[in-house]
Chain A
Amino acid sequence: MKYYILLIVIFAFVLGLGFFVIAALSQSAADITENFEKISTAINNEDWQKANAEFLLVKEKWDRHKKWWAMIIDHHEIDNIDTSFSRTNEYLNHRNPALAGGELSVLKQFIKHIPETEKISWENIF
């Protein structure tokens, strides 16, 4: 009986950890992407100084969250996000609104996509 209880406790712990990871991923993805609207508006208004400042804040948040994301998600996904960050940074430096806006949208999609892939749904299982 002791072993059954131990097994159930370990299983419940792993399950709990799993649910915690899903919630934490959603929260941190929302945290990283919350300034994206401001950057997008700044790009549309060609306010490059503000766009760069906001983007720097986003990059700092990403660098903070990236450390623990790497323990959970596919490293290929992290490489995609890093690549997209570099591209957006270059487009902002070259003050190209079309490319910067497009790449920012791709970056947002890459980040929002991560918690989606971890959610429990029929599409993700089957």
Chain B
Amino acid sequence: MILLIIKTTILYFVVVIAMKAMGKRQIGQLQPFELVVLLIISEMAAISMQNTGVPITSSIVPIITIVILQVFLALLNLKSEKARVIICGKPTILIENGKIREDELRRTRINLNDLLEQMRAKDCFNIADVEFAILETNGHLSILLKSQKRPVQPEDLNLETKYEGLPTNIIIDGQVNHANLERTNLDENWLKQELSKRGIYSIKEVLFASLDTSGNLFVQRKAGAGGNNI
């Protein structure tokens, strides 16, 4: 029993490190070969996790080998266009200039219902509105609407817009993010002053506070301390 706990703990960290080494990707964004690698790694880890008779090295060695091969393939993918085409394939245009390409639908074995379903998932309910639909190598569908059907942009109306950057998180769960505060050329005294204007006298009372690029401070108290947005 203790052996199972030790082996599971070791393998858990090995798998977490292996996943970190493979890069930041979500399951839905994985290329087919990356998904295969994930499945193999989980299977490898499970073998010696559940069987005390199987040494842990028989899981760790294959996992390390697969991670090395995976990183090698990913680097090859990054450097070479030809390798990318062989390993990941090419995106497929399913709708071109508003016309459905039957040959490509047949080749990718996607029926019209699948296509319509994926389009609906992208908030596009009328196929007549689509100029281009491209099936990406990870299986996602990208859609370009006809110019008359896309949402209006401020540029279309010749409207001036102000700069909008990312808001800076200042307080998270009662803890001040000093690095972000310094980046905005502000200090804790300013923060305390702003909070006291809002009737908050301790930073611990704040659940979340952020500063947008226009200088507006958003503050929300913790549930026990009021819990309202100020």
Contact between B1 and A124, CB atoms less than 8 A apart: no
By DSSP majority rule, is chain B's interface helix, strand, loop, or mixed?
A: helix
Kindly report which residue of chain A lies nearest to residue B60, judged by CB atoms: A126
Chain A, interface size category, equals 10 to 19
The verdict on A17 contacting B56 (CB below 8 Å), with A120-B6, A125-B7, A125-B10 known, is no
Mask of B49-68 contacts with A, CB within 8 angstroms, 1/0: 00011011100000000000
Q: How many residues of B contact A (CB 8 A)?
A: 12
Q: Residue B116 at the A interface, CB < 8 A?
A: no
Chain B nearest Cβ from A71, distance in angstroms: 10
B contact residues around A126 at 8 Å (CB): 55-57
Please measure, in the bound complex, the distance between the C-alpha atom of A18 and the C-alpha atom of B52, giving whole angstroms. 14
Interface of A with B (CB < 8 Å)?
A: 14-15, 17-19, 21-22, 72, 74, 117-118, 120, 124-126
Q: Which residues from chain A contact B55 at a C-beta distance below 8 Å?
A: 125-126
SS class of chain A's interface: helix, strand, loop or mixed?
helix
B2:A72 contact, CB within 8 angstroms: no
How far, in angstroms, from A39 to B230 measured CA to CA in the complex? 85
Whole-angstrom distance between the alpha carbons of A92 and B2 in the complex?
Answer: 38
Are B2 and A118 neighbours in the complex by a CB distance under 8 Å?
yes
Q: Which residue of B lies closest to A73 (CB)?
A: B52
Interchain CB contact (< 8 A) of B52 among A15, A19, A117:
A117
How distant is the Cα of A18 from the Cα of B5 in the complex, in angstroms? 9
**Chain A residues whose C-beta falls within 8 Å of the C-beta of B27 in the assembled complex:** none
Contacts of A117 in B (CB 8 A): 3, 52-53
Q: B10: which A residues are within 8 A, CB to CB?
A: 125
Residues of A within 8 A of B7 (CB): 125
A sample of 28 cross-chain residue pairs with beta-carbon separation below 8 angstroms, ordered by A number, consists of: A14-B1, A14-B5, A15-B2, A17-B1, A18-B5, A19-B2, A21-B1, A21-B2, A22-B1, A22-B2, A72-B1, A74-B52, A117-B3, A118-B1, A118-B2, A118-B3, A118-B52, A120-B2, A120-B3, A120-B6, A124-B52, A125-B6, A125-B7, A125-B10, A125-B55, A126-B55, A126-B56, A126-B57
